[in-house]
Amino acid sequence: MSNNSLYDLVQAATGVINTQIPAPPEVAIVLGSGLGFLADRVIHNRVVIDYDQIPGFEPPSVEGHAGRVVYGDLAGVPVLMYQGRFHYYEGHSLDSVTLPARVAANLGAKLMILTAATGGIATDLAPGDLCCISDHINMLGVNPLRGRHDERLGKRFPDMTEVYSRVWRKLAFEAASLLNLPLKNAVYAAMAGPSYETPAEVRMLRALGADVVGMSTVPEAIVSRASGMDVLAFAMVTNAAAGLAGDPTTEITHDEVLEVAKHSGQRLGDLIVHILNQHFSPK
Ligand code: HPA
């Protein structure tokens, strides 16, 4: 995908979705590994569009990612869910990885909610824990905004002091407390993958201030913020990061990641519904 055509591609993808949905989405949600089932919560005004119908969207190659847009009402709010994300480790360019975020902004979404399976680094995190991402460390070695700049897609040098909206994080913690659902703050470190980290890398990430580690989220968060959306992001801890499980021979597997995400993901669905309910319901 050349940078020259990025704006046109965003327009084309937006156009395909726009012709099929009854109203612009308020919120876009990217469903991470094993969390795709959350799209089942969208029942009213449901519109499903396969990625192969949308210019620039390729079918995902990773198990646990379906590859379709599910639009509809969630807690009475029009949402656009991406059931399946593009990862850098699949070989996609960061323009492709972040195309869904650009399209969401172009469709009119004000809030981007990102979800991801992660390895837990902080000592107080265990598999099944749910975290609200407060900040990130980009260890990908690349930035999704690199390339020839097109003013129509956002600023050249966007500020990243508050990528993850303070206001929305506060709402998330309020909703979690109402639901009696433990929610922790976490700094997310993005690694390119697809191999999981080595124990030495995990020690490095901990020393740098990371609480969880994953292979996504950060490019989408940067582009969402640069495109003018508020960002709220949740990390589901699916495993202890490498070297941190009690047994040093423990291996991390994608199956385990999917299994834990599936079991613990319902709580994340409840939380998102509650947040939207609280914020958008008539006061
Ligand atoms: N490391 C990186 N990405 C992940 C992990 C992990 O331990 N678990 C789930 N996604």
| Residues forming a β-bridge with 74 | 77
Residues 70-121 have pLDDT tens digits of: 999 998 899 999 998 899 999 999 999 999 999 999 999 999 999 999 999 9
CA of 127 to the centre of ligand 1 (A): 11
pLDDT of 63 higher than 70: no
pLDDT digits (tens, 9 = 90+) for 2-29: 445 899 999 999 999 999 999 999 999 9
Q: Which atom of ligand 1 is nearest to the CA of 191?
A: 2
Catalytic site residue from 92, 239, 240, 242: 239
Ligand 1 centroid from CA 71, angstroms: 28
Q: Is 60 exceeded by the pLDDT of residue 128?
A: yes
Cα-based angle 102, 107, 109 (whole degrees, multiple of 5): 85
Residue 120 φ/ψ, nearest 5 degrees = -85, 130
Q: Is 254 a catalytic residue?
A: yes
Helix, strand and coil content of the chain, in percent to the nearest 5, comes to 35, 20, 40
89 as an active site residue: the answer is yes
Query: Roughly what angle, to the nearest 10 degrees, separates helices 218-226 and 99-107?
Result: 30
**Bond from prior residue into 199 cis (ω within 30 degrees of 0):** no
Name the residue of 140, 211, 236, 238 to mutate for ligand 1: max ligand atoms within 8 A of Cβ.
238
Q: What is the pLDDT of residue 4?
A: 52
CB atoms within 10 A of CB 259: 15
| Residue tagged 């991390």 (tokens) | 252
CATH class of residue range 3-279:
alpha beta
Distance CA 172, CA 184 (A): 10
Say whether 274 is catalytic: no
pLDDT band of 221, cuts 50, 70, 90: very high
The finding on whether 241 has its CB within 6 A of some atom of ligand 1 is yes
Q: Is the CB of 188 under 6 A from ligand 1?
A: no
Give nearest CA residue, ligand 1 atom 9. Answer: 118
Which atom of ligand 1 is the closest one to the Cα of 215?
3
Examine the residue annotation and report whether 44 is marked as an active-site residue of this protein.
no
Instruction: Quick: pLDDT tens for 237-268.
Output: 999 998 888 777 888 888 888 888 888 888 89
pLDDT value of residue 247: 79
C-alpha separations of 96 from 101, 239, 251, 269 in Å: 10, 28, 31, 26
251 part of the active site? no
Pair 117, 236: CB distance under 8 Å: yes
- Measured from the Cα of 116, ligand 1's closest atom is 10
149 is a catalytic site residue: no
Is residue 216 annotated as a catalytic residue, yes or no?
A: yes
Q: Would you say the CB of residue 238 lies under 6 angstroms from ligand 1?
A: yes
Task: Report how far residue 102's alpha carbon sits from residue 104's, in angstroms, rounded to the nearest whole number.
Answer: 5
Residue 75: name the closest of 45, 114, 49, 36 by CA: 45
User: Candidates 213, 254, 256, 258: which one to mutate for ligand 1, based on the most atoms within 8 Å of Cβ?
Assistant: 213
Q: 119 CB less than 6 Å from ligand 1?
A: yes
pLDDT in tens, 137-173: 999 999 999 988 888 888 889 999 999 999 999 999 9
Indicate the burial class of 67 (C-beta count within 10 angstroms; 0-12, 13-18, 19 or more): buried
Kindly give the distance from the C-alpha atom of residue 213 to the centroid of ligand 1, in angstroms, as a whole number: 6
